[in-house]
Structure 1
């Protein structure tokens, strides 16, 4: 595991965007699972502004780690956020964008998206294989849309699961733990003082760390990188 700490979320975005550009340039084709949230939003802005015409987007395939079960035009849609801040500003083939269709019936959509992953991703040791999975972490230690009260879904045999948000009850479709941990690299993007306690517990294996889904992110490859700002890293030794 590697921890990279930057002054603020803007420098996190700049560093991660440079990292991603280098990773893309090193591959003939690349398959990336995206995250929603405020930090990816500024990463997408940075990518569009600084790398829009520098990256060969034709070799990039985008997927999502989770999605709220809302239409793609809804302000809560992770796809819409990515569309507004990145996809609409770059030259990426439409067929390279593999969105979770949040407007569909959730259980059926989880099955459909599992089939998309099986069809589109290269297989390694009999399982679909991402080059990179980008994750965030909530104040409660959740990641993708696996929450502490649904942590058993991490171990689901299916590639995708449906989960209800513990407060709002909103249904979401999420990748399960097996395909996340099978990725070549997993990168956490975590910023803000409100995340500091959980960051410390998860990284240093303290407190109730094993009740947080983020603590279960352990890629088989060993390639786990935390991109943190100083606020999120404030409690680390």
Structure 2
């Protein structure tokens, strides 16, 4: 595991974008699972504005989780990514593999699971992303696996239907076997509201085992955290 701590969330976006650009430059074809949230939004803006040298022709984009809403809904992770990144770059349309949030959730979880099996290379008999980008909620959830459904992490399926604990909204999420089989996994975590869970997970104290984010441990051992000082202020470095 590698920790990168920067002064601001904007610097996190710049540093991650540099890492991301370098990763794309090393391999012709890449399969990448994206995250939603406020920090990826800043990252997408940075990539679209200041990393024009990136060749997107061999990059395939997927989503680690998606709300069960239409692609035109303001809560759609896909819509956010289109607005802040996809609409501003030259990437083949056939390289965009969205979760169909408008579909019946259980059927869509199966369809997307099958899509990952069909399109991704395999290792350990599981689909293998080159990169999975994750966020973390202030409750310690990651992707759309929440503490009250932490059992979904160990599902035998590539994808599951999750339920938000407060709103009851259904979401499609990839599971732990896919996340931990990735070649590289990155956490993008910013904001003071994340500091308590970040501290418990990285220091391995408190109730850290209750948080799905604590279960991220790729077999490749390539786990990178990009944090701002607000989120990292209480960890033992």
Q: When the two structures are aligned, how many residues end up with a matched partner?
A: 236
Partner of 2:28: 28
Offset of 1:123 from its aligned partner?
1.2
For 1:220 and 1:204, how far apart are their aligned partners in 2?
20
Partner of 2:165: 166
Offset of 1:201 from its aligned partner?
0.4
| Structure-to-structure mapping, 1:5-44, within 5 angstroms | 5-44=5-44
Partner of 1:214: 213
Offset of 1:170 from its aligned partner?
0.2
Partner of 2:189: 190
| Structure-to-structure mapping, 1:120-131, within 5 angstroms | 120-131=119-130
For 2:93 and 2:103, how far apart are their aligned partners in 1?
20
Please say if 1:49 is aligned against 2:49: yes
For 2:55 and 2:117, how far apart are their aligned partners in 1?
24
Partner of 1:151: 150
Equivalent position SS for 1:174? strand
Partner of 1:203: 202
Offset of 1:125 from its aligned partner?
2.6
For 1:206 and 1:39, how far apart are their aligned partners in 2?
26
Superposed CA RMSD in Å reads 0.5
Deviations 1:146-201 (A, max 9, x none): 00000000000000000110000000000000000000010000000000010010
TM-score (norm 1): 0.99
Structure 2 unaligned runs (5+)? none
For 1:33 and 1:204, how far apart are their aligned partners in 2?
27
For 1:55 and 1:100, how far apart are their aligned partners in 2?
24
Partner of 2:131: 132
Offset of 1:28 from its aligned partner?
1.6
Please say if 1:75 is aligned against 2:74: yes
For 1:113 and 1:227, how far apart are their aligned partners in 2?
28
Structure 1 unaligned runs (5+)? none
Equivalent position SS for 2:226? strand
